[in-house]
Each structure stands twice: as C-alpha cells, then as structure tokens.
Copies of this chain bind each other. A is one copy, B any other.
Amino acid sequence: MSQKIVIIGGVAAGTSAAAKARRTNPDCEITLYTDDQDISYAGCGLPYFVGGGIAAKENLIARTAAEFQQEHITVNMMTRVEEIKPESCKLVVRDFVKSYEVGYDRLIIATGARPLKPNLPGVDLNGVFTLRSLQDSLRMKEYLAQKHPKTIAIVGGGYIGLEMAENFAQLGCQICIIEKSPHIIPNMDEDMAQILTEYLESKGIAIHTGEAVEGLIGEDCVKGVRTDRGELAADCVLLAIGVIPNSELASSIGLQLGTKNAIWVNSQMETSVEHIYAAGDCATTMHLISGKEVYIPLGTTANKQGKVAGANAAGGHAAFKGVLGTGIARVMEMEVSRTGLSENECKALELNFVSKRIKSHTAAGYAPESKEMYLKLIADQNSGRLLGGQIVGYAGSAKRIDTLAAAIHLGATMEQLTDMDLAYAPPFSPVWDPVLIALNQF
C-alpha cells in the first residue's frame, strides 16, 4: 500500500507541501483538508483585491481544487480536522454532514494563523474588519460597495495596515492609521519609519502613533474609534495588529509549542511528535543571525517551509535553515523594506552594533527617474558582520534589500562588501549604488 500523506490547511504552506510531496513521490496518496471555502489563494494579494487593482477573485487563486485533483491530490474544502490521534495515526474530520476518521502515515499541519482580534467593546460592530482570508476580503468589498465609508481607521501600522492605506486611498477614503508603538512599521527603526510617516502625512493620511485603541463606537455600524487620547470618527475600521498561530489542535495532543505559541519545528519541519510535520504561519522558525527561535509569519517562509515539509513527508531530505525577517511593502509612491536585525532587535540581543544612514537616489542624480531613497545599515562592531538593512524611498528603492539579504545570509563582513561589483547605468542607480555608498560609511 502506498504512503498516505495528509495535510491540514490549504493556503501557502499546505499547498506547497502537497505539490512538493507529489513531485518527491509520484505514488504516494495525498489528501488535503481545509475548513476554508477557498484554497491556494494569494493572501498577500488581498489588499489589492479590496482596492480594486486586482479585479477578480479568480486571479488570486494559484491552483484550483480541480488542478490539484489532476495531480492526484485530493482536496476536501470546508472540512475541519477536529482531532488528531497520533498513537493510531488517525484524524477525526467533520464536513457538513458527518464526522469520520481517516488514517495517515505522515501528517503535515499547515493550519496558518488568524488575525488578532482584541477583546474590545464594539469589536463585533458592522464595519469592523480583519483581513486574512479571501472571505474576509469579499465581506469588506461588499461593505465598501454598499456603505461607501468616507473615513477609515486602520488599527496597526505594519505591512498590511500600510498596504491597505494605499488601497483605501485609491477608493477615495479619508484614512487614519492608529499604531500603539512609538512609530509605524514597528519592525523598522524610528528614524526610517519617520520618513514614511512624513510622506503619508503629506498625502493627507493621519498618523496616530503611541496611541492605544480602547474601543469601537457605534450602535449597529461602527462610527468611530475610542483611544487613550480621544475619539476618532470612522465609518469603517480595519484591525491589522498582527496574527496568532492556529496551534490549538496541535497543542491539544501535546505537540510542543514554541515562541508566541507557534508549533515548534526543527529545520526538517518535524514537530515534537513522530510523523507529524508543521509548516507556515502556524510554525516557528529560526533567525539566521541570532540563532534564536522566532515567529515571523510571512508568505515566503510559508512556501519554503511547506515545500520542505512536503519533501520530507514524501521520503525526501530537505531542510529550511531559517529567516532574516526580510520584509517589503509599497505604500502609494513609497517603498519600505528591511532585512536582518533592527536597532531594537540588536539591543535586545545585547549586540555591540553601529548603524549608519544615508540619503541617496534611485537613479543617477541627473536622470529624470532619480528619486530620493534612504538606506540604513547596521553592523556588528566586534565582528564587522553586516547585521541588518532598512530602506525607505521612491520606486526602485526597496528591492535593493535583497542584495543586503544575500550578504547577511552568507555571513559577510562590511569589509568584504565595500567594493562589490553592483550594476550601474543612469536609469538604475547613481554610479555608486546606494548600497555601496552605505557600506562605505563604516
């Protein structure tokens, strides 16, 4: 009898695992269960679907259930896995009509994460949304189309909050962003975040930092936000304050949890229980600089972890070493990105670091394409190793972070990097690329 692989979860990690397991072993039986009514959708595309830049929900579907079926991967949608019985390698699943048991040889838990929804007065009012699933986005689109909200409050100034600011602005809404931390994009440093704050304010977006939401106001529909500083009018509210891993099912059978209650995995995506893997936004990962376990749920990591889990469940030998916390977002004309450690993260790790920030341009100063960009580097003062990079600037700025991510990934010291042969032509860069200018500050 062929090996039976069961996967719980059907977005990034789950479908990556299924596809890779099939490529690794053409003969194994692969079954995927998801309690969602959609699978294999691009969660990161949802802000643009809400904003209208992506017209049809079908565009967001990477692969349909029928396409998985062609690869002999059985997809069960709207089917919830209620229990795992690791001692007998069985699952209890429930669909609309019945509950039943299925067996597995290898189980991959890719249950993802859910938006943090704080227990605040008014959090269940109409017009208060989180954005995580395709269904979330459809609900939000319907509300926007029916109510035409004029003022939208975005609670949370991270990547999703910022991307939604762009998309709400495109719909002609007045926007305010409320962030509890001292600055927006809390995983970047304050001086870099400040550049984006000033840009957003110049575009008429109100930025409230260091301000905590205490409740949502309204009777049926939301009418405003109450914070520790006062009240803000809003006829639509997006809560984008982070996610928590869906690890309860795993935890219920004693799987070891790690940081932030995510499912602990090693670099093979093995959990603490034999034959059970976990991957994606429900799982931990390793930070490549600190060597510490972290929970940084992102689509890229979910895909990579899913692939490794799928390969190993199907008898292959794969590993995922970890992350640098690389992130990127576009907000209107502005781009932000970061990789490695921020100053705050360096401080938390008690590293002896030095940082430098430069202002440069996305193209040769005389080129019409030339626009401002800021780049900050952080290096270890003892070892000379590059620890982190942050970029804020106009079009063409942010993807330069990959050059820094590659260098950090390879453990490079600043000295090794100062005369890298980076590409230059006037439409792309000053003759000294901003990355080189920054590297040469140390």
* Residue ranges of A at the interface with B (Cβ–Cβ < 8 Å): 12, 42, 44-45, 48, 53-54, 59-60, 159, 163, 288, 298-301, 303-304, 320-321, 323-330, 335, 337, 339, 364, 366-368, 396, 398-403, 405-407, 409-410, 412, 416-417, 419-429, 431-433, 435
Which residues of B sit under 8 angstroms from A422, Cβ to Cβ?
A: 300, 326, 402, 405-406
Q: Are B339 and A424 in contact (CB under 8 A)?
A: no
Are A368 and B53 interface neighbours, CB within 8 A? yes
Chain B residue nearest to A407 (CB atoms) is: B406
A to B CB contacts below 8 Å, 9 in the list: A48-B366, A288-B421, A300-B422, A300-B424, A300-B432, A326-B422, A402-B403, A402-B423, A406-B406
User: Of A323, A327, A329, A410, which is in contact with the most chain B CB atoms at under 10 Å from its CB?
Assistant: A410
A419 to B307, CA, bound (A): 11
Residues in B neighbouring A431, C-beta threshold 8 A: 12, 42, 44, 299-300, 303
| In the bound complex, CA of A125 to CA of B405 (Å) | 52
CA distance A427 to B51 in the complex (A): 13
Q: Are B410 and A327 in contact (CB under 8 A)?
A: no
Measured CA separation A405–B327 after assembly (Å) = 21
The 4 closest A-B pairs by CB, nearest first: A328-B423, A59-B366, A324-B421, A326-B421
Judge whether A398 and B426 touch: CB under 8 Å. Answer: no
Contact A327 to B407, CB < 8 A, known contacts A303-B432, A367-B54, A431-B12: no
- What residues on B are CB-neighbors of A399 within 8 Å? 396, 399-400, 423, 428-429
* Contact between B402 and A329, CB atoms less than 8 A apart: no
Contact A326 B423 (CB under 8 A): yes
Q: Name the contact of A405 in the complex, choosing from B304, B328, B420, B429 (C-beta under 8 A).
A: B420
Distance in angstroms from A10 CB to nearest chain B CB is: 15
Residues from chain B with Cβ under 8 Å of A401 in the complex: 423
Which one of B53, B328, B396, B407 contacts A424 once the chains associate, using CB atoms below 8 Å?
B328
Give chain B residues whose Cβ lies under 8 Å from the Cβ of A428.
328, 330, 335, 398-399
Q: Which residue in B303, B323, B420 is a CB contact (below 8 Å) of A409?
A: B420
Contacts of A405 in B (CB 8 A): 403, 420-423
- Across the interface, which residues of B come within 8 angstroms of A364, CB to CB? 42, 44-45
Given the complex, which residues of B lie within 8 Å of A400, measured CB to CB? 399, 402
**Which of A367, A403, A433 counts the most B-chain CB atoms under 10 A from its CB?**
A403
Give Cα A324–Cα B421 distance, bound, in whole angstroms.
6
Q: How far apart sit A264 and B367, CA to CA, in the bound complex (Å)?
A: 34
Distance to closest chain B CB from A337 (angstroms): 5
Q: How far is the CB of A38 from chain B (nearest CB, A)?
A: 14
Q: Chain B residues near A421: list those with CB within 8 A.
A: 288, 300-301, 323-326, 339, 405, 409
Query: Taking A300-B424, A339-B421, A422-B326 as contacts, is the C-beta distance between A367 and B435 under 8 angstroms?
Result: no
